[in-house]
């Protein structure tokens, strides 16, 4: 499989950049329509709004263009968002929505310059009901979780980047804490969205249930989420269990992990790391050197059962602490890549899934130089008859980065083994949802002004 032609895609997208006259006219109208505090053309603001977590990929960092947003708007509410998009459409200026900029595929990078809309100013939690919360796109998970807890509930699913926004998670994320029980964004988490199209109507478009699907992980190309209603679950008291296994006992550690995945209620998180990967984490007595680490966020009253599962498979419990729940979350999902690359900038990551991660780890590691495995529990498929049967592991494969050819050759070898690989080194949208995203983009953004360069050419 060849590496995507990112430099060529960026060059094509940059042809959509607004000319100086269009930009000047747009800016004039924008500053007349919105409070001056909401609009910035300062270089520092444009730069800050034009970068995201793409630095986690050595390939993306190498090809990101020097081009920045021409102007940044930070609307305070949906009315201001509608105004900014209406004016951008009138002047044919490209528009990229943005939350906290923690997405790691360069999905929030404005390849054609133009307008970046920073949604973090529209961050109100609007209403909490029984099983749902309605909030503006810029609300962070810290705020959403706090609001839900005041009503005895919690967010069903959230990314480990808890300071990120609900709009950014729906626009660019996939799953995270809670995914063992509730699956992915696409699995009924999203109940309704208010979406600003380009051009916008008088009010946002309201979509419900499956009608929300084309807006999920769509990088804003089908519309800008103004508000979202997502699922809550009853709040539970949890604690973090950190355990370790001998370095060669991958089978024991993953069997123990699978035992935890079958618990009811399920853990909010179960992670397993190769002993070699632990060396890239900060020193911690609960992550003993030279041993595989298993970490879980479980219901407090499940600790005796969890301990039994760990010791039955040759492991030992290193620590049990409610205070460590947040910390353990920062040793999961892409926080692992962040920590590993901080310690070893020569590493790069792939998102992987499938049975061979558990049943044939040596063959998986052999596909790339110096490869190390990290697993996170997930609901990998839906099984209505028995929800526990859909629970398994996905994860990350960290390996030494040599060049794109070695990496993509490794991806081919992994796929030949039956490993499911999601390439995190491209900003182009893909996957089974792409046809639906294409149709919605054509209907909602006929001029292709929303986040140019992210929707692959048909």
Ligand X SMILES: Cc1cc2nc3c(=O)[nH]c(=O)nc-3n(C[C@H](O)[C@H](O)[C@H](O)COP(=O)(O)OP(=O)(O)OC[C@H]3O[C@@H](n4cnc5c(N)ncnc54)[C@H](O)[C@@H]3O)c2cc1C
75 binds ligand X (CB under 6 A): no
Q: String of b and e for 379-389 (b: at least 16 CB within 10 Å)?
A: bbeeeeeeeee
Residues 6 or more apart whose CB falls under 8 angstroms from that of 116 comprise 46, 49, 50, 69, 71, 72, 73, 95, 96, 97, 98, 108, 110
Q: Can you say whether the dihedral through the CA atoms of 432, 437, 438, 443 is positive or negative?
A: positive
**114 closest CA partner among 390, 449, 454:** 449
Measured distance CA(217)–CA(190) in Å, rounded = 12
The smaller minimum CB distance to ligand X, of residues 50 and 161, is found at 161
Instruction: Compute the C-alpha angle 373/376/378, nearest 5°.
Output: 140
Contact with ligand X (CB under 6 A) among 6, 96, 372, 407: 96
Measured distance CA(310)–CA(318) in Å, rounded = 11
* Segment contacting ligand X by CB under 6 A, of 7-15, 170-178, 285-293, 380-388: 170-178
**Least distance (Å) from ligand X to the CB of residue 308?**
29
Contact with ligand X (CB under 6 A) among 75, 114, 173, 356: 173
Residues 6 or more apart whose CB falls under 8 angstroms from that of 20 comprise none
194 binds ligand X (CB under 6 A): no
Q: Phi then psi for 259, rounded to 5 degrees?
A: -60, -40
**Least distance (Å) from ligand X to the CB of residue 53?**
4
Contact with ligand X (CB under 6 A) among 4, 18, 75, 159: 159
**97 closest CA partner among 130, 122, 79:** 122
Measured distance CA(215)–CA(208) in Å, rounded = 11
Alpha-helical regions (H) of 234-372 = 250-261, 275-278, 303-312, 325-329, 335-343, 356-359, 361-365
**Least distance (Å) from ligand X to the CB of residue 160?**
4
171 binds ligand X (CB under 6 A): yes
Cβ(260)–Cβ(378) under 8 Å? no
Tell me the number of residues near ligand X by CB under 6 A: 39
**Least distance (Å) from ligand X to the CB of residue 353?**
14
Alpha-helical regions (H) of 37-178 = 43-48, 58-63, 78-90, 141-149, 166-172
Binding mask 24-53 for ligand X (x = CB under 6 A): ----------------------------xx
The smaller minimum CB distance to ligand X, of residues 225 and 348, is found at 225
Binding mask 335-364 for ligand X (x = CB under 6 A): x--x--------------------------
Binding mask 113-132 for ligand X (x = CB under 6 A): ------x-------------
Residue with tokens 């208010």: 194
220 binds ligand X (CB under 6 A): yes
* Three-state helix/strand/coil letters over 204-221: CEEEEHHHHHHHCCCCCC
Question: E-assigned strands of 402-454?
Answer: 420-422
CA distance to 52, 262, 351, 447, per residue, from 422 (Å): 19, 25, 5, 29
**Least distance (Å) from ligand X to the CB of residue 322?**
21
Query: Coil, helix or strand for 238?
Result: strand
The smaller minimum CB distance to ligand X, of residues 189 and 219, is found at 219
Compute CA 214 distance to the chain's CA centroid, rounded to the nearest angstrom.
Answer: 16
**Least distance (Å) from ligand X to the CB of residue 324?**
17
95 binds ligand X (CB under 6 A): no
**Least distance (Å) from ligand X to the CB of residue 401?**
17
The smaller minimum CB distance to ligand X, of residues 193 and 286, is found at 193
* Segment contacting ligand X by CB under 6 A, of 59-67, 98-106, 126-134, 281-289: 98-106
169 binds ligand X (CB under 6 A): yes
Cβ(167)–Cβ(117) under 8 Å? no
**Least distance (Å) from ligand X to the CB of residue 271?**
11
68 binds ligand X (CB under 6 A): no
280-309 positions binding ligand X, by CB under 6 A: none
**Least distance (Å) from ligand X to the CB of residue 226?**
7
* Segment contacting ligand X by CB under 6 A, of 328-336, 355-363, 394-402, 407-415: 328-336
Contact with ligand X (CB under 6 A) among 97, 178, 392, 453: 97
Measured distance CA(215)–CA(218) in Å, rounded = 5
239 binds ligand X (CB under 6 A): no
**Least distance (Å) from ligand X to the CB of residue 117?**
8
**Least distance (Å) from ligand X to the CB of residue 163?**
8
Q: Give contact residues for ligand X (rule: CB under 6 A).
A: 52-53, 56, 96-104, 107-108, 119, 137, 159-161, 164-165, 167-169, 171-176, 219-220, 224-225, 333-335, 338, 451
């Amino acid at each position: 499989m060849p590496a995507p032609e990112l430099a060529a895609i960026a060059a094509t997208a940059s042809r959509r950049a607004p000319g100086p006259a269009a930009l000047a006219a747009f800016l004039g109208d924008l500053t007349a329509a919105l409070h001056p505090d909401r609009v910035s053309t300062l270089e520092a603001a444009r730069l800050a709004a034009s970068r995201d977590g793409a630095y986690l990929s050595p390939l993306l960092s190498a090809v990101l263009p020097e081009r920045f947003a021409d102007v940044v708007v930070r609307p305070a509410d949906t009315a201001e968002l509608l105004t900014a998009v209406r004016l951008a459409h009138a002047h044919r200026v490209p528009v990229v929505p943005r939350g906290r900029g923690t997405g790691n595929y360069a999905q929030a990078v404005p390849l054609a310059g133009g307008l970046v809309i920073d949604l973090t100013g529209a961050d109100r939690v609007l209403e909490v009901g029984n099983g749902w919360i309605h909030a503006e796109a810029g609300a962070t998970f810290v705020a959403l979780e706090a609001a839900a807890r005041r009503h005895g509930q919690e967010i069903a699913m959230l990314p480990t980047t808890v300071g990120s926004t609900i709009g950014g998670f729906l626009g660019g994320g996939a799953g995270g804490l809670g995914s063992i029980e509730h699956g992915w964004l696409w699995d009924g988490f999203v109940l309704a969205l208010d979406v600003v199209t380009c051009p916008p109507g008088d009010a946002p478009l309201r979509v419900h249930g499956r009608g929300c699907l084309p807006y999920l992980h769509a990088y804003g190309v089908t519309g800008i989420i103004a508000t979202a209603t997502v699922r809550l679950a009853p709040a539970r008291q949890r604690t973090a269990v950190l355990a370790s296994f001998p370095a060669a006992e991958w089978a024991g550690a993953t069997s123990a992990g699978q035992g935890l995945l079958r618990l009811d209620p399920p853990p909010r998180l179960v992670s397993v790391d190769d002993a070699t990967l632990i060396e890239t984490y900060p020193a911690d007595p609960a992550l003993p050197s030279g041993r595989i680490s298993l970490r879980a966020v479980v219901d407090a009253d499940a600790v005796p059962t969890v301990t039994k599962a760990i010791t039955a498979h040759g492991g030992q419990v290193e620590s049990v602490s409610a205070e460590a729940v947040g910390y353990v979350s920062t040793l999961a999902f892409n926080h692992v890549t962040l920590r590993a690359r901080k310690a070893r900038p020569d590493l790069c990551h792939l998102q992987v899934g499938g049975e061979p991660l558990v049943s044939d780890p040596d063959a998986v590691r052999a596909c790339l130089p110096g490869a190390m495995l990290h697993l996170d529990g997930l609901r990998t498929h839906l099984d209505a008859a028995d929800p526990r049967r859909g629970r398994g592991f996905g994860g990350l494969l960290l390996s030494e980065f040599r060049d794109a050819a070695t990496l993509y050759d490794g991806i081919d070898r992994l796929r030949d083994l039956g490993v499911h690989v999601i390439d995190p080194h491209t900003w182009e949208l893909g996957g089974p949802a792409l046809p639906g995203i294409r149709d919605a983009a054509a209907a909602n953004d006929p001029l292709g002004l929303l986040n140019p360069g992210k929707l692959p050419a048909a």
